[in-house]
Structure 1
Amino acid sequence: MQRRHGTTAANPPWRLPPPLFSARCKACWYTAAALALVVGSFWSLDLQWGAFVSMDALRSMGRFVAEFYPPDFSPPFVAKVAWSAVETLAMSALGTLLAAVAGLALALPASRRHEGDAARFRSVARMLLNALRAVPELVWAALLLIAAGLGPFAGTLALALHTSGVLGRLFAEAMENAPRDAATALRTQGVTGWRVLAYATLPQVLPQLLSYTLYRWENNIRAAAVLGVVGAGGLGQLLAFHMGLFHMGKTATVLIAMLLLVAFVDGLSFAMRRWMK
């Protein structure tokens, strides 16, 4: 019987597929635990699917959606919505910019960039980052409204605080996982401190940091549109006001503005990420 070159009976040219579950496979156990959690969630929650898809519920939803037509496209109101959209965009952009600066400042002590790095403040910095991102933007806004008052200032600070925790953790992970060849070469030449960071680490991770920042800007434009519900300005405040008064035509116009603004920022962020590659 002829065999192909390089193959033996002990080493056949084909292999059996791996088993779907193995006791040594950690990913299999994690997947099983996640599935058990999902099944337990469905079992513990009182999900009334029958009432949700009943004809009465569908008719009520249809009547509610029909009230949004026609949207209010009167010039004075459209101008008011456009200004609120600009305010929401400014809140998200400024909040993200402040968060990127603060996140980078906190990521430096929160990361261990080489083997000999003592990183004395790493635990403290990471605890601070965890605390910042653990509090949602709405809660930050509600707390800051007491000090900053109603308006976009409180919303901008709320976005900046929460996003600082998110970006700081992502920046720290990027710095720790960056290739260390260039930094090691500089250290062997006697270069230390901030110069290694400026000439070796940051140039390698800068595209990744910018990508993280743009992605969080996309998220913040949505969050800024919602923060107005608690009085933090922008489209959210306009939405909460008119929905509370059952001005459904005006509410529909605000929702359309939100969709257009999110689509604009998503497209702009996508184009900028493509341009950086």
Structure 2
Amino acid sequence: MRCWAATAAVLAAVVASFVYLAIDYRALFTAESLLLMGRFVAEFFPPDLSAGFLSKTAWGALQTLAVSALGTLLAAAAGALLALPASGRSGRVVQAVTRFVLNFLRSVPELVWAALMVLAAGIGPFAGALALALHTTGVLGRLFAESLENAPRTPEQALLLSGSGAAAAFGYGSLPLVLPQWVAYTLYRWEMNIRMATVLGFVGGGGLGQLLYFHLSIFQQAQAMTVLTVMFGLVVLVDMASARLRRGLGPAYA
């Protein structure tokens, strides 16, 4: 009965949302709407394939790739450091404080972090990298901490009892158990950050997103189509590379 009640409550919430928003979906399929959408899409073709613009787009793609890679790398390092106290290795009070910090970092969207970083560091790729690093630190730190909590402590405790230091016991006892999972989490977040790095360009984060926003704002749809095509190709290449690297870690992390 609880399952049926929960299902009915969800359906009622969905229906109430449609009624409250009062969205007229029939307007999407009128002849006038379809004609306007068709005209707008047609303006994107053919894309601008001139050598000068392709060179500019390639530079934007390189910026986007660098922003996502740097942001993910900084987040992985910070997340690994925060994961140790967040997993309860330094007491309950430190664990609660660290988890609060991680929850705060990931609860703020990347776009908000980007707006703040643009004010702090100026418009450009560095602001985008910092925004990605702050949000992703909260995500990876929580995932890293949970993997540490789920890993068996027996090898680390055995090394401690045999006289090893705390750092050596962690490095040889617990880290090998969680490192493949940490790498897999980092690669997956890198895939997501590639997409987000393009969105951050709309608020001054540099890269392809900033290029796309500029050409859309002055109604240069042919140039915008070129940028969109390069975006798609970059995401596909990164997804393929990341999936192949994760498969190399073993079937459990692919």
How has the CA–CA distance of structure 1 residues 39 and 209 changed in structure 2, closer, same or farther, with 3 Å as cutoff?
A: farther
In the alignment, does 2:100 pair up with 1:127?
yes
Shift of 1:39: 3.9
Partner of 1:139: 112
Q: Deviations over 1:126-151 (max 9, x none)?
A: 11111111111111111111121111
Distance 2:214 2:51 in 1: 19
Distance 1:29 1:91 in 2: 47
Q: How does 1:34-183 map to 2 (within 5 A)?
A: 34-112=10-88, 118-183=91-156
Q: Over the residues paired in the alignment, what is the CA RMSD in angstroms?
A: 1.9
Say which of 189, 200, 206 aligns to 1:216.
189
Partner of 1:270: 243
Q: Which moved more, 1:46-55 or 1:140-149?
A: 46-55
AA matched with 2:93: R
Q: Deviations over 1:153-176 (max 9, x none)?
A: 101101101100111111111111
Shift of 1:61: 1.0
AA matched with 2:198: A
The 8 Å contact of residues 229 and 240 in structure 1, kept in 2 or not, is answered as: yes
AA matched with 1:94: L
Shift of 1:215: 0.5
How has the CA–CA distance of structure 1 residues 33 and 268 changed in structure 2, closer, same or farther, with 3 Å as cutoff?
A: farther
Partner of 1:203: 176
AA matched with 1:123: A
Provide TM-score, normalisation by structure 1.
Answer: 0.84
In the alignment, does 2:207 pair up with 1:234?
yes
AA matched with 1:83: W
Shift of 1:245: 0.4
Provide TM-score, normalisation by structure 2.
Answer: 0.92
How has the CA–CA distance of structure 1 residues 172 and 235 changed in structure 2, closer, same or farther, with 3 Å as cutoff?
A: same
Higher CA-based Rg: 1
User: Any unmatched runs of 5+ in structure 1?
Assistant: 1-21
Q: Deviations over 1:179-221 (max 9, x none)?
A: 2332343344354522332111111011110110001000000
Distance 1:202 1:39 in 2: 49
The 8 Å contact of residues 231 and 237 in structure 1, kept in 2 or not, is answered as: yes
The 8 Å contact of residues 160 and 166 in structure 2, kept in 1 or not, is answered as: no
How has the CA–CA distance of structure 1 residues 179 and 34 changed in structure 2, closer, same or farther, with 3 Å as cutoff?
A: farther
The 8 Å contact of residues 111 and 119 in structure 1, kept in 2 or not, is answered as: no
Shift of 1:125: 0.5
AA matched with 1:82: A
Distance 1:70 1:118 in 2: 61
User: Any unmatched runs of 5+ in structure 2?
Assistant: none
Q: Percent of counterpart pairs with the same letter?
A: 57
Distance 1:104 1:138 in 2: 24
AA matched with 2:119: I
Equivalenced residues, count: 250
